[in-house]
Amino acid sequence: MRRLAGGIACVAIIVLLQLSTVQAVTKPKDKQADISSVQQAAKKEVQSIINTIGRYDKLDKKMRWRDALIYCENKGQRLCTAQEYCPHGKGKKPAGGNQVGDSWAPTSDSNNEWIFIGNDAAKMCSTYSELNKGEYPSWGNSNQESDFKGNLLCCPMKLRVMNTSSPTWDQVLDYCQSQPKMRLCTKQEMCLQGEAHAPLGGVLYQSAWAAVFDDHNEWLAVGMSFPKRLLCKTFRQIAPDKVAEWGKKNEPIPRRGVAMCCPDEFFNFKGRIIYHNAKVFCEEKKMRLCNRAEYCPNGAGTPPRGGGRPGEAWAPVGDDKNEWVSIGMSHPNKMCKTHTEIMDKKPDWGEGTGTLGFVQCCPVIWHELKRNITHEQGAKFCKLRKERLCRLSELCKMGPSKDPRGGALVGTRWTPIFDRVNEWAFVGNNNPSQLCQAHTKLNNGNKPEWGLHGGHLGTVQCCPDDGSTPDPEPPAPKKKPKKKPAKPEPKPKPVVSIKANESAQVTSLPKPAPTFAKPPAALVAKKIETAMRSREDFNKKNKPNEEAEKLARNEAHRKAYEDKYWKLWRQRKRTGEHKAKNEYQDALFTVKKVMADALNKAHKVISEAKGKRYDSVKKTVQSPAEREKERVTAIFRQLPTTPRFHPEGYSIDLGGASEASSSSSSLSSGSEQSDLSEESSSSSSSSSQSTGAVSQMVEAKFKL
């Protein structure tokens, strides 16, 4: 490499010396400019050669196509595509420079694809498959040493490598959406060359599939293991009767640890959203909901700006209240159509349960002043913003009968424009044929009187002030001179005939029937009535639509009522919180009191229980004298009853005593295992009757 670099430097020095010699020999002034331009071109050429030396990565001559792919990905990069090798096209010099003789470099356009980077101009920057009718080289996957192998270019990764090689589709989606204003790319965005071609950035070794935004759990073939005919096809296209279950689980196979994220025009909400919340969301950003024309610049049936959403999806638009446009990719023929166009009504869920949140906000174009303004007041409003009113050509770039910039407004609406003083343009959506046309054009050159006095509901667009002035007023039409009325023909003179002996008689033409002219008062009344009728017609034609004013008043009343409602709600909330706090304090006091009473009762019960236990213990613990007394009493109970122990002396019948004695002796001679209590219980009734006497005798003994 040092020798090569030294050779290049020598070549550069020789070229520069030759150019300086040419410049010194050629002294005419008219050729100095040509020589300097040639010198600069030579310097650039030499510099480009020096810069390109060493751009190719050098591998072993036994390099296989797969080895080149792995080499670049281990560096955190990827193998370059043929277009990146040769950005200037076929027959042009490659980006890394020409190599001597027959030389090939691997590309990531498909499996085992190579591009010619040698110095043969006929084959320069052509791929092997193009030169060999779609066939790929056998030596490309062989580790046999070849002099034309060993050079390659690595380019920066265009797909993002994730932390895991086996994410689920939802995890890839969350990865892209976690970045501001980003989303998963669609198949069309990843495969600019279409199917059967490598995706953006070429095929990969470390990943076979990449998640795409076309549908839920949809994947795109991007790996080197796919043949070229399957590249840039989705899983559903390759296996229409199967479901990618591995895309819902973290299974290690197949590899899919890359993602491509694209800019997103939508704000993605995690939950559901209703129309009112979407509008407030944009207003908080000092923006507005986009109109349908801004969502879909290419019209109905085409993807919206920013791409469609998976499945069935809707987005709110600012054309009308609770109006939504379809942006879901499950029905391509319905995309960019409003809900009213598809279902003939507005959705109930738009103000109820809501839908998945996809919203686009656009800059504010229409300034709602919420009051009637004259043309002069509209101009002052824009002047305070250091702007001016828009001209008709700026407001309506698409021409007459088309929506103005920012979309048409609801109802009959006019906006002041800069073209002339007191000139207005129609921007309401209730008459599309009059959209974007000036008031003077629609009303035979007449300007509205309400534009100077009273005004119209204030909606204004302002444009950058370029220092221009309004157009001059058109010249007034010349008045045609009034024709003088023709003079009435002179009345015929009377004919005088005189006969002899007769007086002269005057005869004239027959007089016409008398015509009675109306009195002046009736004529004046008729003129007044005609003037009033024309005034009413003029007002009807030029006065703003009363319906729009009524709607505006109703909207103002609704907003006032809504403000009053929320104010009352806040008051009730504060009152409820205070009441709940008091109830909590009362409940806490009651609980404490009940707990104290229960504790006192428990202490009382414990003390009583302790006292009773003491008494019972006291009763059970007997003195030795008492125990001796009970023992002696038991002994005397076992003795036979004799006159000696009988409490009544010797008056007892001896026969009964002998019987008792014989019975007791018979019992005692019985089983030794029987209890004394059983013997005593089997004795006669006389023995049981003498128990009381024995007790008395024992007590008397102990007393003595």
Across 590-609, average pLDDT? 82
- Pairing outcome for strands 261-263 and 182-184: antiparallel
- The predicted model gives 501-530 an average pLDDT of 56
**Rounded to an integer, what distance in angstroms lies between the CA atom of residue 346 and that of residue 87?**
52
Alpha-carbon distance of 82 to 89, in angstroms, equals: 9
Contact 376, 455 (CB under 8 A): no
510: left (phi over 0), alpha (psi -120 to 50) or beta: beta
Rounded to whole angstroms, the Cα distance separating 518 from 475 reads 41
Give pLDDT tens digits for 32-45: 433 344 445 444 54
User: According to the model, what pLDDT value does residue 595 have?
Assistant: 84
Residue 654, pLDDT above cutoff 60 = no
Residue 299 has pLDDT above 80, yes or no: yes
| Predicted pLDDT of residue 546 | 67
In the block, tokens 């001559």 appear at 61
> Residues 143-163, buried b or exposed e (16+ Cβ, 10 A)?
eeebebbbbbbbbebebeebe
Is residue 666 predicted with pLDDT exceeding 60?
Answer: no
Most confident option among 186-200, 634-648, 667-681: 186-200
Identify residue 264 by its one-letter amino acid code. Answer: D
DSSP string of 294-337, one letter each residue: HH-TT-TTSPPTT--BSSS-EEEESSSTTEEEE-BTT-GGGTT-
3-class secondary-structure state, position 40: helix
3-class SS shares of the chain: helix, strand, coil, % to 5: 40, 15, 45
Q: How far apart are CA 54 and CA 546, in angstroms?
A: 79
Q: What is the pLDDT of residue 270?
A: 67
pLDDT value of residue 486: 62
Q: What is the CB neighbour count within 10 angstroms for residue 601?
A: 10
Q: What angle do CA 626, 630, 635 make, to 5 degrees?
A: 145
Tell me which DSSP letter residue 185 carries. P
- CA angle at residue 515 from 512 to 517, to 5 degrees? 150
Alpha-helical regions (H) of 287-434 = 292-295, 339-343, 375-384, 392-395
Q: Out of 44-48, 114-118, 463-467, which region has the weakest mean confidence (pLDDT)?
A: 44-48
Residue with more model confidence, 218 or 205: 218
Nearest to 449 by CA among 417, 425, 422: 422
φ and ψ at 219, to 5 degrees? -130, 150
Cα–Cα distance, 112 to 102 (Å, whole number): 18
> How high is the pLDDT of residue 493?
54
Smallest Cα–Cα separation from 268: which of 362, 352, 329, 182? 182
* Cβ neighbours of residue 356 closer than 8 Å, sequence gap 6 or more: 269, 272, 273, 309, 313, 314
Rounded-to-integer distance, Cα 13 and Cα 15, Å? 5
pLDDT digits (tens, 9 = 90+) for 532-548: 777 667 666 665 566 77
**Sign of the C-alpha dihedral, residues 131, 133, 137, 141?**
positive
If you write DSSP's letter for every residue of 452-489 in order, what string do you get? TTT-EEEEE-EEE--S--PPPPPPPPPPPPPPPPPPPP
Decide: 451 and 374 in contact? Cβ < 8 Å: yes
Q: What is the pLDDT of residue 683?
A: 41
Q: How many CA atoms lie within 13 A of 221 on its CB side?
A: 22
Segment 343-390, tens digit of pLDDT: 899 998 888 888 877 888 888 788 888 788 999 999 999 998 888 999
pLDDT at 636: 67
Specify the higher pLDDT residue, 684 or 627: 627
> For helices 32-52 and 2-25, what crossing angle results, to 10°?
180
* pLDDT score at 426: 93
3-state secondary structure string, 628-666?
Answer: HHHHHHHHHHHCCCCCCCCCCCCCCCHHHHHHHHHHHHH
Beta bridge partners of 176: none
Longest dimension (CA), the chain: 218
Q: Residues 408, 428: contact at Cβ < 8 Å?
A: yes
pLDDT-wise least confident of 110-114, 199-203, 359-363, 474-478 = 474-478
pLDDT tens for residues 252-268? Answer: 888 888 888 888 887 77
Render 563-625 in DSSP notation, one character per residue. HHHHHHHHHHHHHHHHHHHHHHHHHHHHHHHHHHHHHHHHHHHHHHHHHHHHHHHHHHS--HH
pLDDT score of 325: 92
Residue with tokens 């008395």: 696
Nearest Cα to Cα of residue 436 among 448, 428, 446, 426 = 426
* Residue 563 φ/ψ, nearest 5 degrees: -60, -40
Q: What is the DSSP string of 487-551?
A: PPPPPPPPEEE--TTS--EEE-PPPPPP--PPPHHHHHHHHHHHHHHHHHHHHHHHSPPHHHHHH
Task: For the full predicted model, state whether its pTM sits above 0.85.
Answer: no
158 secondary structure, DSSP code: S
What distance in Å separates the CA atoms of residue 599 and residue 596, rounded to the nearest whole number?
A: 5
Higher per-residue confidence, 494 vs 652: 494
Tokens representing 163?
């932390």
| Segment holding 345, helix H or strand E | none
Share of the chain above pLDDT 90, in %: 6
The two tokens of residue 409 are 């407004």
Q: Among 315, 259, 263, 317, which residue's Cα sits nearest to residue 288? A: 317
Residue 619 clears pLDDT 70, i.e. is over it: no
Question: How distant, in Å, are the alpha carbons of 102, 104, 139 from that of 146?
Answer: 11, 10, 9
